[in-house]
Homo-oligomer: A and B are copies of this chain.
Amino acid sequence: MKIIIIGLGLIGGSIAKALSSSQDYEILAFDSNQNSIKNALDNQSIQGSLHSLDDLENSEYEDSVVIIATPPSATDDILKSLDFIFNSSVTITDTTSTKSSLNKTLQEFNFPKNIVFSHPVAGSHLSGEKNSAADLFNEKSTILSYHDSVGSQHVDRVTNLWKTLGSNITVLDAELHDKIFAYSSHLPHVAAYALLNTLKELEQDNLSDFSGGGLGEFLRLASSSPKMWGDIFSMNEKNIALAIDDLINNLIILKDKIGNDPKTLQTFLGELKDFKESNY
């Protein structure tokens, strides 16, 4: 089966590396960055490259899988540019962290029957093909979102692809996906950035000497690509705004409890410790 990866960065490069060990796949890539293409050809994680996405109309690409693994803000435009293979035998998927805006595009095109969205919950604070790794998706979650009318062969192809990569699959409606991720993933990143700005404004030298373990790991969330996170925040703005409001409310609640009865505070912290240990 042909796999065409559009965008050979951390995610696309890692998919290529992971699949290249199998004889079942012929892996081709499309990227404007010729260094990434050359690297991937050199390390044999891809077998060739496409010069133009228009090539996908050729019959040799029938029944292949196209994976859009570009930065979030580019994904929607690329998806639209592939309209000539909507409802064809080619399966189209993506790797983006937000789904509602992509889902609007599907709606415009009356829900093409060959598009299954993917969100691999995997990444790194490093980016680019040079940092890609074959085991990036191993034992991680991948969320699939697709319309009821999508053909089961397309769902099966995308499901099998991520299973081959070692992922555990969850299916979520696109709108629910974005609501949940606003809290589970985007809000922690917002909190890391806001905490960093609070620490930055302190203008105190050697601040890390005054922090225990755990903080550095958390702040690493803010070491990811600013372009990617800017895109994610902008594309999931409304859900994230609600999540930020909830976090602010909880900070105010905690501030109140700190200023009041120590026993009540301690019970509250104990309940949160229990929740943490049951869930993370």
Q: Which residues of A approach B to under 8 Å, CB–CB?
A: 73, 121-123, 141, 143, 168, 170, 180-181, 183-185, 187-188, 190-202, 204, 206-224, 226-227, 229-231, 233-234, 237, 240-241, 243-248, 250-255, 258-259, 262, 265-267, 269-270, 272-273, 275-277, 279-280
Contact = CB atoms under 8 A, between A and B. Distances in A.
Contact of A204 (B180, B241, B246, B259): B180
A211 B230 contact: no
The 10 A-B residue pairs with the shortest CB-CB distance in the complex, in nearest-first order: A218-B218, A217-B217, A226-B269, A230-B266, A184-B210, A226-B270, A194-B250, A141-B209, A233-B258, A197-B250
A188 B218 contact: yes
Contacts of A275: 196, 199-200
24 contacts: A121-B211, A121-B212, A170-B206, A180-B207, A180-B210, A184-B207, A184-B208, A191-B191, A197-B272, A207-B279, A207-B280, A208-B280, A211-B280, A215-B280, A218-B218, A219-B280, A222-B276, A223-B276, A226-B273, A229-B269, A234-B258, A234-B262, A244-B251, A248-B252
A188 B221 CA distance: 14
In the assembly, how many copies of this chain are there?
2
A214 B210 contact: no
Nearest to A259: B237
Contacts of A240: 255, 258
B212 A123 contact: yes
B141 A210 contact: yes
A251 B210 contact: no
A224 B212 CA distance: 12
A57 to B, nearest CB: 33
Given A190-B254, A190-B258, 6 more contacts: A181-B210, A197-B254, A198-B246, A200-B275, A215-B218, A230-B265
Nearest to A183: B202
